[in-house]
Structure 1
Amino acid sequence: MRDTENHSTFVILPDSGIKELQHSAGHKNMLQLIHLRWLAVFGQISTIALVTLGFGIHLPILPMLYVLAGLIAFNIGSHLRWHEEVRVSNRELLLALLVDVATLTAQLYLSGGTGNPFAFLFLLQVILSAVLLEAWSTWLIVALSTACLMGLSRFSLPLKLPPDSVNSLFSLYRDGMLICFLLNAALLVFFLTRINSNLKERDAQLADLQKRAAEEEHIVKMGLLASGAAHELGTPLATLSVILGDWRRMPQFAQDAELTEELTEMQRQLQRCKRIVSSILLSAGEARGESSVKTTINTFLNDLAEDFRATRILQEFEYRNSNPHDIPVVFDVALKQMICNVLDNALEASPHWLAFDVQRQEEVLTLLVTDRGPGFQPHILDKLGQPYQSTKGRAGSGLGLFFVVNVVRKLGGTVSARNRPEGGAAVEVTLPISALKL
């Protein structure tokens, strides 16, 4: 089935732990708090100016400016610290919110205590803590905010209102309440939306990690199954090799040229099976670096192409290596099997024509395999790299691209598949040169 519009890419992400994702989300949330604090500084300066100049209310300007200076200094320090450091824990977020609560308490103490309508800004701190912090930390913020409000209800500097504003005191309080509500609502909508976006991104990455862990567990099980099967196949393959050797010496076979040719081909295919079994055992028992071979890019790929041409029944196989600069690298059995897996899948879909192109752009090696077969079906492209996604209708099929994707993932590369406009399919594997260099 051809579909020239479909294109699927499996982008490989670097391996990372759940704690790293949590720290990353915490870092983004810390940056949001820093931005919010700058808005708080601007809002406090504007409010002090408005109340003093617009309403004629006398405030202790100098102490309030000292509090603002401390908040600005803390925010500058936070910006410098978290610009370099990206690991933010729950305790560090808690400390940042505690500084905000302390600053708000100090400003309210200097401006009327709980009689100041802006006392409701404590709710903003409580809601932010509920979103950002662990449960025990949130309850700590709630307890401290409550204690601060109770303290402000008993101890605070009274506001010095102008003589002619006594009758309009309720109106001033009502206007302050309205401004406080609008400020709370705007800040909550704006910042909670951005914080929730960070949390959703973290959850999506955690889900991807869980999926990857399940896939790797599946690979381990398949590796154990493959190594066990390889051990079991060793004895019958050795027996067949002995039998074929005996047949070649029998007169009825030696005198028949056609039978001799067929025996030669059987022995060649049997040797190939033994090499495959040996490769499976080597891959299962040795890690990369221990089963690796020092070579060069062009030498490895040229030998691989020649070996593929010699061991498969091919009508037309086009191999083009456009790598201009050959460099020393390390290749292992798993990587060779991965490339051959892509080629074998293409050969099965297109036995009449197959192309293998190699290109290198700076520090990226690109391997492109194209064929003239029926192409990928849309549901295969949508689930590229997932196990048992195949149109072959055989039990256990659909593992080829699954293994390809997981081998490439270990090297930090990408695998993409698409249907060609002129017919057939193309699978592209990109590998960073840094993962292959000596």
Structure 2
Amino acid sequence: MADPAETVPSAAGGPRLGGPVAAAMLPRGGVRLRALVLIRWAAVAGQFFTAAVVHWGLGFKLPLLAVGGAIALSALLNLTVSLGRPASARIDDREATIFLAFDILQLAVLLYLTGGLVNPFALLLLAPVAIGATILSLTSNIVLSMLTMASISLLGLFHQPLPWHGPPPELPDIYRAGVWAGLTLTTLLVTLYGWRLAEEARQMADALAAAQASLAQEQRMSALGALAAAAAHELGSPLSTIAVVAKEMLREVEPDDPLREDVELLSAESERCRTILARLSVDPAGDVSDAYTLVPLPALIEAAAQPCRREGIAISFRAGPVGDGVPATAPIQVRSPELMQGVGNIVQNAFSFARREVVISTRWTASWSEVEVTDDGPGFSEALLDELGTPFISTRQGEGGHMGLGVFIAKTLLERTGATVTFGNRRESGGGALVSVRWPNPVFKAT
């Protein structure tokens, strides 16, 4: 199992990040420049096409020089940006905000020249806001929203007449106010909803990356254990030969010979090496070689919980069948990195909040096997109980490196093994947290 210092869960499962998990949580990069450049080229083409259709197709007179200049300025800026930096470059949050702010101002100028909010294309002011909501930080989105709403308000008061045959139509003031209110409220809603949904998607992506990093760490530890088992097997024969030769030398060397002490040391050290290799070969908790791919579930749970022990907190293991006609022998389970890391995170979380004892019960029937981890701590908060298992949920988020990912990682990894994970609180006196992990269709050795 990974070093607990790298994945120490918080109250609702926030690991103290370190090692590969911290690497997965590095700050996200910005949006690619190519994406924003292509969006602006599409906008420039659309603006040019619309102006041409309105002026030459419909016969409405536009201030062509001013409108063409605003469109040309946007195209010129796009060319400058494209030539100055590679299209695959990523721009940070500040640069993307400036990029989109220019688009808002350019659209506001075009609308000022063509009727203000009465122009049907006033809705296009919402496009930069919608794009920013998906890629920018909350602060940058607030800036863009304020700029958009300020532009809408100014356009409602100051604008050139709407291009028209003869005098433009005079709309009632209440209708103009309604257009202003609708665009302003839509700007706020697009920003809030768009940013919130995009932020949740980014958080889930970060949490899944952290889970993958945690699993990769456990897989590396498993590979190290397999390497140790292979080394024990390969070194057994030459070490046996060394031990035999050392014993032969010990019999032939006289007690008063100066080499006697060195030979005795050689014999003792070779015996010590044989003991170490034997322990590596027969301990299924520390060896993940093929001989121990399938392990009785209680032994597997004990192995996963072993690195989580904490001084001053007792741990009890209970195991047994439930009901009649159930095999007394425990079901076997694949010793997978997902199971070891997932159960380890849950047990570590229990140790973090237990006062005196953590109890791990393993039960099974003919149709399911279950591991239940309980502690005598304060238990899960009722306000967070329904949210457990989602990323970045923790009562200690931000304290001591806790990020609210421990329970999410454990739940994600255990569900990959086919388990169902449920969270609750003990009903007995004293209370405490209760986490249940249940697998359907247990496999018994006899089958």
TM-score (ref. length: structure 2): 0.40
TM-score (ref. length: structure 1): 0.41
Greater fraction helix: 1
